[in-house]
Amino acid sequence: MAKPLSEKSSNSSLRAKASESSSLGYRPLQETSLESEIIHTEKLPPNFGDVVKGVYRSSFPQPWHFQALKKLGLRMIVTLVEGDYTQDHQVFLKENGIEHRRILILANKDPTIRTPDHVVNRVLEIMLNKTNHPLLLHCNKGKHRTGCIVGCFRKVQGWDMPAIRKEYLNFSLPKSRPLDERFIELFDDTRLGPLAVSSGASSWPAGVMLDPLREEVVEDENTPRGSRHSSASVFHKSDAM
């Protein structure tokens, strides 16, 4: 399962192996020279990672991240929070032909307040449309709102809740929110079922960006096949929060 790697452990980071799920048809992606170049020469935003091939997640990108992000060939950036894009952001978008959309997702801090499913579906519909790929999805820290949207996306893909919860926690710990997990559980993914089928999203392989310094972690053969799935290996700088 995806687990953010801190900057401190970059020279002795764990090598995660994306496992295949026979039911969902996930398979790990192979390392490319472009991915390797980005990882080792440029700075990506904290909590950066692949969701599926062509869909990335991160914290709020800053101007010093633009050089690395440029190499991803982004077509779209979806922002889930308020917060101004500076003139530098606007120039970056224009020079690279990137469309920017802002769809606000509420923080899950009050059990009586939650983002309506139809708003979540607007984001997921963008993610399910491959003409928008490559795209970057981000909030402030890349943990909570982004984690909720990715969790809902995984439901649309057919992941089970234990797997979704594990991925969410890998990005959000030690500041995970039980209400985020509840939000994902309550999300009704049935409305997007036909779109998920027509797009083939259930068989989209989870993204992987390989780090040659990682050590391999072998999956426990006793893990129930129904709970196995592939997941992105994540590269992020230490997140001061």
Active site residues: 139
Which of 124, 146, 168, 118 has the alpha carbon at shortest distance from 3? Answer: 168
| Sheet containing 135-138: order of strands | 49-52, 55-58, 135-138, 76-79, 99-102
Tokens 């080792």: give the residue. Answer: 40
- Alpha helix (H) residue ranges in the chain: 33-41, 66-70, 87-95, 117-128, 145-157, 161-172, 178-186, 193-199
Count the neighbouring beta carbons within 10 Å of the beta carbon of residue 176. 17
Length, in residues, of the chain:
241
Residue 15 parent element (H or E): strand 14-16
Tokens 């991803």: give the residue. Answer: 72
User: In whole angstroms, what is the distance from residue 107 CA to residue 81 CA?
Assistant: 9
Using alpha carbons, list the distances in angstroms from residue 36 to 11, 61, 151, 194, 223: 15, 20, 27, 36, 31
Which of 202, 144, 188, 139 has the alpha carbon at shortest distance from 168? Answer: 144
